[in-house]
């Protein structure tokens, strides 16, 4: 049983050192780098990671690159970790315990999301399960899915109990910048599916997204921050469809 970890990077120097430090219990780390212009590659190499550089097209293709390199290195399992995530010792121990006798070919990991000092409890940000531990020969990603990529498995997946820690947004400005880019991706996906917005869509879809996150997914549990973030998610749903409108106009 050879277990490798994979980290996708692009200018991840502020995070890569702390991330790789939590992966020393694996049999090795591969970094799929999208031609960083900071010292991400140098830091990762110094810390013992194998670095492979590929032009970034979308996240699904980047993860397929990681699976390809893992196969060539003889890995049986691959653990995907983002540079701004950390593996706790408890999660590491659970993974090492379940893999030898695993009937599942993939495992979902629960995740704590830290948003500028606050650990989220609702709104879809907890438990925020991520399908990240994959049997290499039983997994691939749809290369046409540009964002919110999901591994496709030839078998069943199980659920682990211990958590990833995700330091995903350092500030409100960081959150808004990232969600704006996600909205652009979503608009491209809608366009590829031939979806067109109705006049009322610009109102109903943002309201539906706000209700889903704030009420159904209990975003209210995070107080004023939950109200703020769920409202912003509604806004970015509007922005996705407004961007789709512009794409059709061009």
pLDDT, average across residues 95-112: 97
Beta bridge partners of 107: 133, 158
Same domain flag for 152 and 229? no
Same domain flag for 176 and 153? no
With a CB cutoff of 8 Å and minimum separation 6, the contacts of 135 are: 76, 77, 102, 105, 106, 153, 155
pLDDT at 91 over 80: yes
User: How far, in whole angstroms, is CA 148 from its chain's centroid?
Assistant: 7
Secondary structure of residue 212 in the 3-state scheme:
helix
pLDDT, average across residues 226-249: 94
Would strands 157-159 and 111-115 be described as parallel, antiparallel, or unpaired?
unpaired
Same domain flag for 157 and 182? no
Note the pLDDT tens digit of each residue in 192-208.
Answer: 889 999 999 999 999 99
Range of the domain at 80: 3-168
For the beta carbon of residue 194, count every other beta carbon within 10 angstroms. Answer: 6
pLDDT, average across residues 4-14: 97
pLDDT at 172 over 90: no
Examine the fold and report which residue of 125, 141, 168 is the final residue of a domain before the chain moves on. 168
With a CB cutoff of 8 Å and minimum separation 6, the contacts of 181 are: none
pLDDT (0 to 100) of residue 174? 85
Same domain flag for 103 and 46? yes
Distance CA(237)–CA(213), nearest Å, equals 12
Same domain flag for 148 and 181? no
Band of pLDDT at residue 117, cut at 50, 70 and 90:
confident
* CATH label of the domain that carries residue 56: 3.90.550.10
Examine the fold and report which residue of 168, 191, 214 is the final residue of a domain before the chain moves on. 168
Same domain flag for 121 and 163? yes
State the total domains in the chain: 2
Distance CA(63)–CA(7), nearest Å, equals 9
With a CB cutoff of 8 Å and minimum separation 6, the contacts of 71 are: 136, 137
Q: Which of 230, 238, 216, 111 is nearest to 168 (CA)?
A: 111
Q: pTM score, two decimals? A: 0.88
Examine the fold and report which residue of 148, 168, 188 is the final residue of a domain before the chain moves on. 168
């Amino acid at each position: 049983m050879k277990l490798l970890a994979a980290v996708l990077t692009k200018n991840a120097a502020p995070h890569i050192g702390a991330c790789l430090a939590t992966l020393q219990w694996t049999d090795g780390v591969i970094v799929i780098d999208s031609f960083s212009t900071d010292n991400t590659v140098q830091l990762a190499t110094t810390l013992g990671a194998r670095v492979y550089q590929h032009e970034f097209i979308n996240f699904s293709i980047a993860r397929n690159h990681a699976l390809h390199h893992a196969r060539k290195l003889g890995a049986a399992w691959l653990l995907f970790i983002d540079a701004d995530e950390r593996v706790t010792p408890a999660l590491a121990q659970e993974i090492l315990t379940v893999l030898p006798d695993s009937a599942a070919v993939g495992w979902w990991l629960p995740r704590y999301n830290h948003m500028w000092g606050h650990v989220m409890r609702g709104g879809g940000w907890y438990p925020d399960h991520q399908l990240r531990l994959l049997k290499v020969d039983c997994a691939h990603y749809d290369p046409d899915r540009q964002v919110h990529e999901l591994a496709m498995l030839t078998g069943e997946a199980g659920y682990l109990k211990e958590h990833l820690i995700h330091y995903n947004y350092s500030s409100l400005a960081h959150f808004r910048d990232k969600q704006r880019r996600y909205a652009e991706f979503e608009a491209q996906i809608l366009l590829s599916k031939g979806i067109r917005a109705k006049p009322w869509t610009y109102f109903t879809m943002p309201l539906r997204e706000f209700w889903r996150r704030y009420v159904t997914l209990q975003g209210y549990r995070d107080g004023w921050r939950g109200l703020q973030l769920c409202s912003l998610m509604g806004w970015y749903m509007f922005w996705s469809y407004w961007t789709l409108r512009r794409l059709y106009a061009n």
